[in-house]
């Protein structure tokens, strides 16, 4: 048994590269060449492999650290003799450090030209450290693009690493002669660019990936070996999957995939880090499910659009796996129509409220036999006044009285999470079913209005909602909402709280039910009520009192006078 210090190998001259992943933990047993950490420079990412097989004794770096050649990564216990101690991780077998080679070489392609004069030059694949016939996995520029020196032109990938092939100079791309899927080797022409002589064009072609590639050489002299082997060594894990079939839960699968195992070139990884994007959330469209720069841009565009519209879509919030894309036409004929604006807003609000509000729903029946007798006795008089006296104005009045009697429901949670806003007004929202979607106009100062006035206002608001004539203010400021499906049917439903309100009453269809009066069952007209509330603001006891009060008032409307 011997203890060996593991050090960062030759990084081809690159200095202070980022540690983007620690692939092992203390106590892990590793085989020779297993990835220990993944580092990333400007142009390439690479595994730092175990120099020998053994057990990891300690790790002295963490993700986010910057390391250079010779820095200590940790210690490993091996069977080898003590002679191996201090041996740097994976002694490079390379013949010549790539960067050095590149430095010594003049620009492979720049022709001498008078300063200031535009010249065309071939762009060639730089030294790949001996690797041959590596795959072109992404073309990042097109003819006509202006590029700066060092900008990525194409991304190539070998067994263990992917790397950007950088532009040897600033200029304009005239043509690109390779395509995705081609294989290239050092010196192959990948295109032509126009540069202005006397400037950067005369600079030597950068060494391949300018950084960790030489280090990748340790096990495999190939410079193209700088990539997170988590991906390359086990391509089947993620990358070999064919593009998502219509019903595949693509996002769930990717969410389970660590970002380090997602296929992406160093430039894309760097951009993702700068923008704070988790790579496994981005839908890849590149070859072998590779995330391209365009994918990243498309993802960000989509997120910005979602954020600006306030829409939450059909999933994906707070870490919840979104619904898979389903092609319904595979099951039968379909017609895809755009949603109305109201429908979209309702969908967004419902998702927001459902996900944010811890709901509890309480059930009860109100005996409105007397209320109904009274209402029917007043119907003719109401009609003379031009109003329709349905149960709704009674419900409005009873809810207003309950909000006054049990003010625990007439509150909103302050956004700071530290305060409760208690309201000294009673405005009640009324859900209205319209052809364009659900609308909730608000009737103000319900506690101060009479039944006829409320009936008149409820009818006018429902009409305005159905005619699309409500103004934004007509739908703001409610303390509580009533959602009545009584005229439609059903024995009960659990409405969703319309936050920042903390309660909503669901009203179902009146039914005659046998009720025990102490001596016998008698037929009574029972109105099913459901009360959903935000349990952050309201406790079960408050809700019980509110509901009991409400049922009592509806059971004997004379109590409204008290
Ligand atoms: N049980 C039995 N009958 C009821 C009832 C109940 N709970 N509530 C109302 N009715 C009766 C009314 O008395 C009326 O009968 P008459 O014409 O014989 O008097 C009939 O049903 C139709 O009432 P209405 O719909 O004209 O008026 P309303 O006051 O009951 O309702 C409104 C007004 C705007 C609430 C209603 O039209 C509506 O849009 N409801 C749907 C609300 C909704 O979509 N909620 C779900 C939101 S969550 O998706």
Which tens digit of pLDDT belongs to each residue from 539-548? 999 999 999 9
Q: Which fold has domain 113-198+223-254?
A: OB fold (Dihydrolipoamide Acetyltransferase, E2P) (2.40.50)
Q: Is 446 in the pocket of ligand 1 (CB under 6 A)?
A: no
Q: Which atom of ligand 1 is nearest to the CA of 430?
A: 35
pLDDT of residue 11: 77
Position 240 scores a pLDDT of: 32
What's the rounded Cα separation, in Å, for the pair 408 and 466? 33
> Model-level pTM?
0.54
Question: Which has more pLDDT, 213 or 502?
Answer: 502
Task: Return the closest-CA partner of residue 513 out of 527, 493, 503, 499.
Answer: 527
pLDDT value at residue 32: 86
Is the distance from the beta carbon of residue 441 to the nearest atom of ligand 1 less than 6 Å? Answer: no
Average pLDDT of the residues in 304-320: 61
By the 8 A CB rule, do 161 and 232 touch? Answer: yes
Helix, coil or strand: residue 260: helix
- For ligand 1, the distance from its centroid to the CA atom of residue 494, given in whole angstroms, is 17
Confidence of residue 135 (pLDDT cuts 50, 70, 90): confident
Average pLDDT over residues 489-498: 97
What SS3 state is found at 425? coil
Q: Is the CB of 439 under 6 A from ligand 1?
A: no
- Report pLDDT digits (tens) over 142-155: 888 898 888 888 88
Q: Are 296 and 271 in contact (CB under 8 A)?
A: yes
Cα–Cα distance measured from residue 73 to residue 48, given in angstroms and rounded to the nearest whole number: 10
Name the residue with higher pLDDT: 305 or 97: 305
| 277-286, 330-339, 342-351, 427-436, range with the lowest pLDDT | 277-286
| Cβ of 486 below 6 Å from ligand 1 | yes
Provide the pLDDT confidence category of residue 281 given band limits of 50, 70 and 90. Answer: confident
pLDDT of residue 398: 98
In this predicted structure, the answer to whether residue 314 has a pLDDT above a threshold of 90 is: no
Please tell me the predicted confidence (pLDDT) of residue 376. 95
Domain 358-561: which CATH number of 3.40.50.300, 2.40.128.20, 3.30.559.10, 3.40.50.2300: 3.30.559.10
Winning range, highest mean pLDDT, from 63-77, 178-192, 307-321, 355-369? 355-369
CB 423 within 8 A of CB 500: no
Neighbours of 397 (CB within 10 A): 22
Q: Residue 89: what pLDDT?
A: 43
CA-to-CA distance for 136 and 157, rounded, in angstroms? 7
**CA quadruple 133, 134, 135, 136: dihedral sign:** negative
Q: Name the residue with the closest Cα to ligand 1, atom 24.
A: 487
**CB-CB contact of 36 with 42 (8 Å):** no
Look at residue 170 and tell me whether its pLDDT is greater than 80: yes
In the prediction, which pLDDT does 189 show? 92
Segment 323-343 shows an average pLDDT of 92
User: Is-contact 289 59, C-beta < 8 A?
Assistant: no
Average pLDDT, the chain: 80
> Which is higher by pLDDT, 147 or 231?
147
Q: Where are the domains of the chain?
A: 2-81, 113-198+223-254, 258-309, 358-561
Better-scored residue on pLDDT, 157 or 368? 368
Flag the least confident range among 204-213, 421-430, 442-451, 545-554: 204-213
Please, which pLDDT band fits residue 95 given cuts at 50, 70 and 90?
very low
- Which residue owns the Cα nearest ligand 1 atom 7? 486
State if residue 405 touches ligand 1 by the CB under 6 angstroms criterion. Answer: no
Confirm or reject CATH 4.10.320.10 for domain 258-309, answering yes or no. yes
Instruction: Report yes or no: 209 and 43 within 8 Å, Cβ to Cβ.
Output: yes
Percent of the chain with pLDDT over 90: 44
Q: What is the pLDDT of residue 414?
A: 94
Q: What is the arithmetic mean of pLDDT over 538-557?
A: 97
- Give the integer Cα–Cα distance in Å for 239 and 492: 49
Position 46 pLDDT exceeds 90: no
pLDDT band, very low/low/confident/very high, at 229 (cuts 50, 70, 90)? very low
**Class (C level, CATH) for 2-81:** mainly beta
Residue 98 confidence (pLDDT): 39
DSSP structure string for 33-84: T-EEEEEE-SSBEEEEE-SSSEEEEEE---TT-EE-TT-EEEEEEESS-GGG
Q: Give the position, in ligand 1's atom list, of the atom nearest the Cα of 527.
A: 7
> For position 40, what pLDDT does the model report?
77
- Give tens-digit pLDDT for 387-418: 999 999 999 999 999 999 999 999 999 989 89
- Same topology between domain 2-81 and domain 113-198+223-254: yes
Among 443, 484, 525, name the best residue to mutate to test ligand 1's pocket (greatest count of ligand atoms within 8 A of Cβ): 484
C-beta of residue 407 within 8 angstroms of C-beta of residue 420? no
Ligand 1 site, residue 487, Cβ cutoff 6 A? yes
Residue nearest to atom 44 of ligand 1 (CA): 433
To the query of whether residue 414 is one of the catalytic residues in this protein, the response is no
């Amino acid at each position: 048994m011997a203890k060996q210090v593991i050090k960062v190998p030759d990084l081809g001259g690159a200095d202070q590269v980022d540690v983007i992943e620690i692939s092992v933990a203390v106590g892990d047993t590793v085989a020779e060449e297993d990835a220990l950490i993944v580092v990333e420079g400007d142009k390439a990412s690479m595994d730092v492999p175990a120099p020998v097989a053994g057990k990891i004794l300690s790790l002295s770096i963490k993700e986010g650290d910057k390391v250079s050649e010779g820095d200590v990564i940790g210690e490993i216990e091996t069977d080898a003799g003590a002679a191996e101690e201090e041996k740097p991780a994976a002694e490079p077998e390379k013949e010549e450090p790539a960067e050095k080679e590149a430095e010594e070489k003049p620009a492979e392609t720049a022709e001498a030209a008078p300063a200031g004069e535009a010249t065309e030059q071939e762009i060639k694949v730089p030294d790949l450290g001996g690797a041959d016939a590596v795959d072109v996995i992404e073309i990042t520029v097109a003819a006509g693009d202006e590029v700066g020196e060092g900008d990525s032109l194409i991304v190539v990938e070998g067994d263990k690493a992917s790397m950007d092939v950088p532009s040897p100079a600033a200029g304009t791309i005239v043509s690109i002669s390779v395509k995705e899927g081609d294989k290239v080797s050092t010196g192959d022409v990948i295109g032509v660019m126009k540069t202005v002589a006397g400037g950067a064009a005369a600079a030597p072609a950068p060494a391949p990936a300018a950084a960790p590639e030489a280090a990748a050489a340790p096990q495999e002299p190939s410079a193209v070996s700088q990539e997170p082997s988590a991906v390359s060594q086990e391509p089947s894990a993620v990358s070999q999957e064919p593009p998502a079939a219509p019903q595949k839960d693509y996002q769930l699968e990717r969410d389970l995939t660590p970002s380090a195992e997602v296929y992406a070139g160093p430039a894309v990884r760097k951009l993702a880090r700068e923008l704070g994007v988790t790579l496994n959330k981005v839908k890849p469209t590149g070859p072998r499910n590779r995330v391209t720069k365009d994918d990243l841009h498309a993802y960000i565009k989509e997120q910005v659009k979602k954020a600006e519209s306030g829409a939450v879509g059909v999933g994906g919030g707070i870490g919840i796996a979104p619904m898979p894309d389903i092609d319904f036409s595979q099951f039968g004929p379909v017609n895809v129509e755009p949603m109305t604006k109201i429908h979209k807003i309702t969908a967004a609000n419902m998702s927001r409220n459902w996900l944010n509000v811890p709901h509890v729903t309480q059930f009860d029946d109100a005996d409105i036999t007397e209320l109904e007798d009274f209402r029917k006795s007043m119907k003719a008089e109401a009609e003379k006044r031009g109003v329709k006296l349905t149960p709704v104005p009674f419900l409005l009045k009873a809810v207003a009285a309950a909000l006054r009697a049990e003010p625990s429901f007439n509150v909103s949670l302050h956004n700071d999470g530290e305060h409760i806003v208690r309201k000294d007004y009673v405005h009640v929202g009324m859900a209205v079913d319209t052809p364009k979607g659900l609308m909730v106009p608000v009737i103000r100062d319900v506690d101060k209005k009479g039944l006829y006035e409320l009936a008149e206002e409820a009818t006018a608001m429902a009409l305005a909602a159905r005619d699309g004539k409500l103004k934004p203010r007509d739908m703001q400021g409610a303390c509580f909402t009533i959602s009545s499906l009584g005229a439609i049917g059903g024995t009960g439903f659990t409405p969703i709280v319309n936050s920042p309100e903390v309660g909503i009453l669901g009203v179902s269809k009146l039914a005659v039910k046998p009720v025990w009066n102490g001596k016998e069952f008698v037929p009574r007209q029972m109105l099913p009520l459901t009360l959903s509330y935000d349990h952050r603001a309201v406790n079960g006891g408050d809700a019980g009192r509110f509901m009991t009060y409400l049922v009592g008032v509806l059971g004997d409307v004379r109590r409204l006078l008290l």
